[in-house]
Amino acid sequence: MTTAEAIARRRAVAKEADRLPSPYLLFLGDVDDPRFAKTAFGLKDWAPERCVGEWASTTGGLSVGLPAMRPAQAHAAGARSLLIGVANIGGVVPDAWIAPILEALEAGLDVVAGLHVRLGDVPELRDAAERCGRRLVDVRVPPPGLPIATGRRRSGKRLLTVGTDCALGKKYTALAIARALATRGLAADFRATGQTGIMIAGGGIPMDAVVSDFEAGAAELLSPDAHPGHWDVIEGQGSLFHPAYAAVSLGLLHGSQPDVLVVCHEVGRTEILGYPGFAVPAIEEAIALNLRLGRLTNPAVRCGGISLNTSGLDAAAADALLASEGERLGLPVADPIRGGPTFERLVDACLGSA
């Protein structure tokens, strides 16, 4: 595939994603763990202008801080779709969600989801959508005709966020770095690889829905040849240490051919999310393994620094930990959401100017 063909394909993917019917009513289902509501939090934090309100199917459950609305209220407020804001294990539609989704369809809302299960494969939803004249939009569908990876080095610069586990800040880190680079006047694009990132960016490829033989090829397609000074900041997926999702992480690592890695970790997390008994690796172990495996397609790959999710700490404790971890690891350590001088030093290091 030529560079022109790759760019045309990427634009076609983005154009299709731009058709998502917004504004959204964010559906929180019956989850009470915010880590499983990362889609809702991501849309609220990075695309608030497209969010009208939120709706949980249980009383007193999780909230992302938006006005609580039922579908009819949201429709009257301008919402065009109910967006499933939950990323559950397996990407399924639980039986308990059927009635709320039917209510949304009957209220005049389309339904947007990034689940593995296709909305149209659920008979009750398919029949209701046809009866109500509404759309069921599945974001977690890769584009057709994905190529096998070539392994060929590409022009331009690439940064990939990787992690010690899932759902701990890889997307937020990539978004924050891409924004920081653009603020500095550099050519930079956020490249989405998961359903939430695609909903935020308006385009991308859902890597965990790609057949494994084409995973690295999809990553190459997502980030084709570019101007030498252009940065693609690529959203990481999963973790090389995850008992279920490591294959996605490895294919993305090889196909992205990153020049720079930023390793993401959540303070206080000791076990892989949803997998009791599987320990979260040490940060230095994650650095070493990602560099070793990344050198297959980019021998010059380096670690730019560490992104720590310090959301469980107050400001003083977070600042102290960022400083001590930076000294211990000999790398810039920052929380991109807190920002500040530590984050600017991380960005400097990624650019090679630290």
Per-residue pLDDT tens over the stretch 269-319: 999 998 999 999 999 999 999 999 999 999 999 999 999 999 999 999 999
Tokens linked to 220: 């190459």
Segments of the chain assigned to CATH 3.40.50.720: 21-138
**pLDDT tens for residues 31-61?**
888 888 989 999 999 999 999 999 998 766 7
How many C-beta atoms lie closer than 10 Å to residue 121's C-beta?
11
Nearest to 254 by CA among 213, 295, 221, 225: 295
Nearest to 237 by CA among 292, 203, 275, 197: 197
Strands 188-191 and 110-113: unpaired
Interatomic CA distance for residues 62 and 37, integer angstroms: 9
Tokens linked to 101: 């989704």
At 76, give phi and psi (nearest 5°).
-65, -25
pLDDT at 156 over 90: yes
Interatomic CA distance for residues 165 and 337, integer angstroms: 18
**pLDDT tens for residues 95-111?**
999 999 999 999 999 99
Query: Which has the higher per-residue pLDDT, 306 or 11?
Result: 306
Length of the chain equals 354
The alpha carbon of residue 104 and the mean position of all alpha carbons in its chain are separated, in whole angstroms, by 25
pTM of the model: 0.86
pLDDT at 77 over 70: yes
Task: Please state the rounded mean pLDDT for residues 209-216.
Answer: 96
Q: Which amino acid is at 8?
A: A
Q: Cis peptide leading into 23, omega within 30 of 0?
A: yes
Please report the pLDDT score of residue 153 as a whole number.
95
Task: Give ∠ CA 208-213-219 in degrees, rounded to 5.
Answer: 55
Q: What is the mean pLDDT of the chain?
A: 92
Interatomic CA distance for residues 248 and 219, integer angstroms: 11
Tokens linked to 265: 């970790």
**116: exposed, middle or buried (Cβ count in 10 Å: 0-12, 13-18, 19+):** middle
Please report the pLDDT score of residue 19 as a whole number.
63
pLDDT at 325 over 70: yes
Strands 333-334 and 81-84: unpaired
Please report the pLDDT score of residue 5 as a whole number.
54
- Give all strands of the β-sheet with 51-56 in edge-to-edge order: 51-56, 24-29, 81-84, 110-113, 136-138
Q: Which amino acid is at 245?
A: Y
Please report the pLDDT score of residue 38 as a whole number.
86
Distances (CA, A) of 324 to 122, 312, 321, 338, 347: 51, 17, 5, 17, 19
Please report the pLDDT score of residue 57 as a whole number.
82
Segments of the chain assigned to CATH 3.40.50.300: 157-351
CATH topology classification for 157-351: Rossmann fold (3.40.50)
How many C-beta atoms lie closer than 10 Å to residue 324's C-beta?
11
Interatomic CA distance for residues 124 and 314, integer angstroms: 46
Please report the pLDDT score of residue 336 as a whole number.
97
Please report the pLDDT score of residue 58 as a whole number.
76
Is there a contact between 126 and 120 (Cβ–Cβ < 8 Å)?
yes
Task: Please state the rounded mean pLDDT for residues 220-249.
Answer: 96
List residues bridging with 232 in a β-sheet. 158, 189
* pLDDT-derived band at 257, boundaries 50, 70, 90: very high
Please report the pLDDT score of residue 7 as a whole number.
46
Write out the H or E segment, with its range, that includes residue 302: strand 302-309
Task: Please state the rounded mean pLDDT for residues 227-250.
Answer: 97
Q: Which CATH superfamily is domain 21-138 in?
A: NAD(P)-binding Rossmann-like Domain (3.40.50.720)
Least confident interval from 9-13, 98-102, 349-353:
9-13
